[in-house]
Amino acid sequence: MSQPLIARSKDLLKLQNEGYAVEISSGFLLIKDVPYVNSQREIKRGILISPLSLCGDITDRPATHVAYWTGEHPCHSDGRKIESIANPSGPQSLGEGIQADFTFSAKADYRDYHHKMTTYIGRISGEAMVLDDKATPQTYPVVRCGEEDSVFRYQDTATSRIGTGSLNEVFSNHRIGIIGLGGTGSYVLDLVAKTCVSEIHLFDGDVFSQHNAFRTPGAPSVDELMLKPKKVAYLKSIYDRMRRGIHLHPYAIDENNVTELLPLDFVFICMDTGAAKRVVVQNLFEAGIPFVEVGMGIIQGQGFLTGLIRVTAGTDTVRDAILEKMSFSEDVVQNEYATNIQIAELNALNAALAVIRWKKLYGFYHDSAKAHSYGYSIAANDMVNEVEA
């Protein structure tokens, strides 16, 4: 219950977002790692505890001004006991292994638990910061998530800090496919993995080779490269540390297995092969599954690189216009890396534009242009909308 309660209660979530070590146990709110000064003028860390008043599954206004403390009695910076919060009650067990060494009483009309706990902490930790300005109670601990709470293995504090949780929820049940985990596809994965989509399906049959290391997020070691893992397996090993729901398909998509895409809600097409791409696009249109397809054409000029980066979004409303913009060349290039120039920042930009287009389709970002195909010119530093709804 701890994390759902914190997520639903503005005061508890504010404490967590501000970096306090918040924990809920047996009906009590605990703030851990609170610095204080003991009678020997040493800086120690204790636990501030408050009974919780709840209204259903969110916090209510604090019913009492009383708080509890685990640790030595806090003192002023000169070692004198802080008498203004002292209470004669002795040590007591609060249950579930929670031991209170002291009871505090600082009477005030507390608005919520953020107000109450920060008031106490200010009196206690303020004295520690007189001796050491780095003795802060805001430790920003790692907040783990259980499988029942989130697809993430630890709390998405970036979203909660900026208050975009309700916007993110539009993706919560999405099953996403990424076809092709080369330069651009791997960056698409990096960005999509940080959203709350329920499943990410990776389709690629290639080995993660040395050249891939220079256009893929992260930094593989020599030992990892020598293992010659499949791209999908290598990338899952990275993002599985952060989230659940990554599914591997270590093979290319073609006419024989394209039906594996049909249970998905959205697909990113980051593949080069024309024939297979045509099969994928046709099947997605027929199934009514929206997609974003990416591409870039970079050429080497007189001592510089130039070219275009393109993003195309496929929906039923612009099917014919989109098909005219997409390339389905049947040409087979024997050494694609000698002619298909890709550089990490261009791959990352292509992926970012693709993910932004996906989020616009679902209302996360405002979209006044409603461009379903657009390109970025490197030389002109210009974005051009080519197909608008």
Instruction: Give residue-wise pLDDT tens across range 222-249.
Output: 999 999 999 999 999 999 999 999 999 9
Across 103-110, average pLDDT: 95
| Integer angstrom CA distances of residue 264 from 173, 181, 271, 288 | 11, 17, 17, 10
| pLDDT at site 338 | 43
Check whether 109 has a pLDDT greater than 90.
yes
3-state secondary structure of 33: strand
Residue 85: pLDDT band (50, 70, 90) is very high
pLDDT of the residue at 303: 86
pTM score of the predicted model: 0.77
- Residues of the chain with pLDDT > 90, as a percent, come to 69
Residues 6+ apart with CB under 8 A from 314: 281, 284, 285, 290, 291, 292, 293, 322, 372
pLDDT in tens, 179-215: 999 999 999 999 999 999 999 999 999 999 999 999 9
CA distance 196 to 216: 22
Q: What is the mean pLDDT of residues 120-148?
A: 91
Select the more confidently predicted residue: 160 or 37: 37
CATH superfamily of 157-388: NAD(P)-binding Rossmann-like Domain (3.40.50.720)
pLDDT the model gives residue 148:
67
Helix, coil or strand: residue 269:
strand
**Better pLDDT: 345 or 5:** 345
- Asked whether residue 1 carries a pLDDT value surpassing 70, the answer given is no
- Per-residue pLDDT at 143: 82
Q: Are 274 and 328 in contact (CB under 8 A)?
A: yes
**Residue-level pLDDT at 337:** 42
Task: For residue 223, give the 3-state DSSP assignment.
Answer: helix
Q: How confident is the model at residue 335 (pLDDT cuts 50, 70, 90)?
A: very low
Q: Residue 334: pLDDT band by 50, 70, 90 thresholds?
A: very low
Q: In whole angstroms, what is the distance from residue 19 CA to residue 268 CA?
A: 36
CA–CA distance, 149 with 163 (Å, rounded to integer):
18
pLDDT of residue 31: 97
Could you state, in order of their start, the residue ranges of all structural domains in the chain? 2-131, 157-388
In the predicted model, what is the mean pLDDT of residues 155-178?
A: 83
Distant-in-sequence, close-in-space partners of 231: CB < 8 Å, separation ≥ 6: 181, 182, 186, 202, 204, 206, 207, 208, 212
pLDDT score, position 356: 96
Percent pLDDT > 70 in the chain is 93
The pLDDT assigned to 26 comes to 81
pLDDT at 177 over 60: yes
**Residue 336 clears pLDDT 90, i.e. is over it:** no
Phi and psi at 318, nearest 5°, equal -130, 30
Residue 344 has pLDDT above 50, yes or no: yes
Mean pLDDT of the chain: 90
* Confidence check: pLDDT of 123 > 50: yes
Model pLDDT, residue 320: 67
pLDDT band at 29 (very low <50, low <70, confident <90, very high): very high
278-303 pLDDT, tens digit each: 999 999 999 999 999 998 888 888 88
- List the single range of 30-39, 146-155, 326-335 with lowest mean pLDDT: 326-335
Asked if residues 280 and 271 have their Cβ atoms less than 8 Å apart, the reply is yes
Q: Assign 144 to helix, strand or coil.
A: strand
Determine the Cα–Cα distance for residues 179 and 68; give it in Å rounded to an integer: 55
CA distances from 73 to 36, 70, 81, 134, 194 (A): 9, 9, 7, 21, 43
Q: Residue 372: its pLDDT value, please?
A: 86
